[in-house]
Amino acid sequence: MKLAIQINEGPYQHQASDSAYQFTRAALAKGHEIFRVFLYHDGVNNATRLAVPPQDDRNITQQWTQLQKEHELDLVVCIAAAQRRGLLDEDEAKRQGKDANNIAEGFRISGLGQLIEAGIEADRLVVFGD
């Protein structure tokens, strides 16, 4: 089955981010295809490379980055939601006149059209968080 995943909550606000990560890992282990993971609303905070959780806590951004490397996942961050929350990739930071970027390795910024495409292409769109 071809799945698309939408994450609407940040990594340390609710269980949604952890549930999405565990679901995606389990789906891949069972042989399902993940068409795209789309981070929307506060879910874009899963993509920041500047978060530093305590050593005894999980680092959800690193977990997603590792999973992306292992399975060549398409991790898309909604540009509008990201800009509202101060998340920028290198190109967007330059375009906005900012001197830094903070999107973690393996993630990319794009528009809402990527979510629409995922919903069309996938057999199921699974949404985590409000």
The tens digit of pLDDT for each residue in 1-39 reads 999 999 999 998 889 999 999 999 999 999 999 999 999
Degrees (nearest 5) of the Cα angle 62, 68, 72?
165
- pLDDT (0 to 100) of residue 108: 97
Please give the tally of structural domains in the chain: 1
| 3 phi, psi to nearest 5 deg | -115, 145
Domain of residue 96, CATH code: 3.40.1260.10
Quick one: what percent of the chain has pLDDT higher than 70?
100
Mean per-residue pLDDT of the chain: 96
Q: Name the pairing type of β-strands 75-78 and 124-128.
A: unpaired
Which residues are catalytically annotated? 78
- pTM reported for the whole predicted model: 0.96
pLDDT at 13: 84
Q: Residue 71: give the domain boundaries.
A: 2-128
What are 2's two structure tokens?
A: 């071809």
Judged against a pLDDT cut of 90, whether residue 45 lies above it is answered with yes
Distance of alpha carbon 28 from alpha carbon 22, whole angstroms: 10
Q: Using one digit for the tens of pLDDT, what is the confidence trace for 69-89? A: 999 999 999 999 999 999 999
